[in-house]
Amino acid sequence: MILAELHHSRRNPLVRVQAQTVPPREEHASAQHEYLKTTEQRRNRYYRTDRGDENTVAARSSSNAQKKQRKGPVKEHQAMIWMSQVISAVYYMHTRGIVHRDLKLENIVIFPDEGIIKISDFGFARSVIRGDALSETYCGSKSYSAPEILKGEPYDPYKSDVWSVGVIAFVIVTDCMPYCEKRPNPQIVEAQRLRAYEYPAKLHLSAECRFSIDTMMTFSWRDRPNISHCGCLPWFQSLPPNASHGLKNPHSRLN
């Protein structure tokens, strides 16, 4: 049984994970709290996250059919700050052996009063005891799924989380999905292999931004960076102080 408590800490924006075999740890600023319950292998899992603001990044930045809101792409500088916080939160989870497996815009929540975003909905999250263990549970949202998941192959859940982070970044800065989820999986996989997406020229996105997103969406999971290396990508090198909520340089230790 795992009880994951994720909430705000001024001293150190880290995630606290409590379990029968996992000691209490620090907390992370970019995690949201609400109780979610799933059943896995005949055992109950409880994930505790904060409710907070219902203002999701999807509603703010993307073409969200469910919410019927369209506010256009987020400015690159703001997107860089948000994505740094997402990477920081995912990094903390990954170093504690927790993979999310359903990272998407709808699960990124804005807390405007605190100037931060938080990750929510841990319904598909799992604890990975062995860092090199491959998963064969295919879950998450098709639009954010890595090629290996769409192909039905055993996959590294850490690397599939990284792919999803790349898709999130792409949608935030372009206001469109890189691939059409209505197409059959083989067609999507081929489009992913060819990187058949474009950054609108009118947005004037920096080369650092485009390169960093492309890198997170590397087709082969073996060549895809882990989350620690994502924090060191060129886009985040101009990150302003404290942009990741309390960490002067949140990715300086991610090696």
pLDDT tens, per residue, the chain with 255 residues? 222 333 333 332 333 232 222 333 444 545 443 323 332 332 333 233 344 444 555 544 433 333 333 478 999 999 999 999 999 999 989 999 999 999 999 999 888 777 788 898 888 888 887 656 788 878 889 999 999 999 999 999 999 999 999 999 999 999 999 999 999 999 999 999 999 999 999 999 999 999 999 999 999 999 999 999 999 999 999 887 666 543 334 443 333
pLDDT for the residue 242 = 62
2-6/43-49 β-pairing = parallel
Give me the phi and psi of 102, to 5 degrees please.
-150, 45
CA atoms within 13 A on the CB side of 111: 19
144 inside domain: yes
Residue 126 in any domain: the answer is yes
Q: How many domains does the chain have?
A: 1
Asked whether residue 157 is domain-assigned, the answer is yes
**Domain enclosing residue 106, as ranges:** 54-238
Structural domain contains residue 11: no
The CATH code of the domain that includes 135 is 1.10.510.10
pTM as predicted: 0.74
Tell me, yes or no, whether 5 lies in a domain.
no
1 located within any domain: no
Q: Is 59 left (phi over 0), alpha (psi -120 to 50) or beta?
A: alpha
On whether residue 127 sits in a domain, the answer given is yes
**Cα–Cα distance list, 21 to 39, 99, 125, 198, 241 (Å):** 18, 17, 17, 46, 36
Residue 216 lies in a domain: yes
Among 103, 123, 119, 111, which Cα is nearest to 170's? 103
From the list 50, 102, 161, 214, the catalytic residue is: 102
pLDDT of residue 51: 44
Active site residue 102: yes
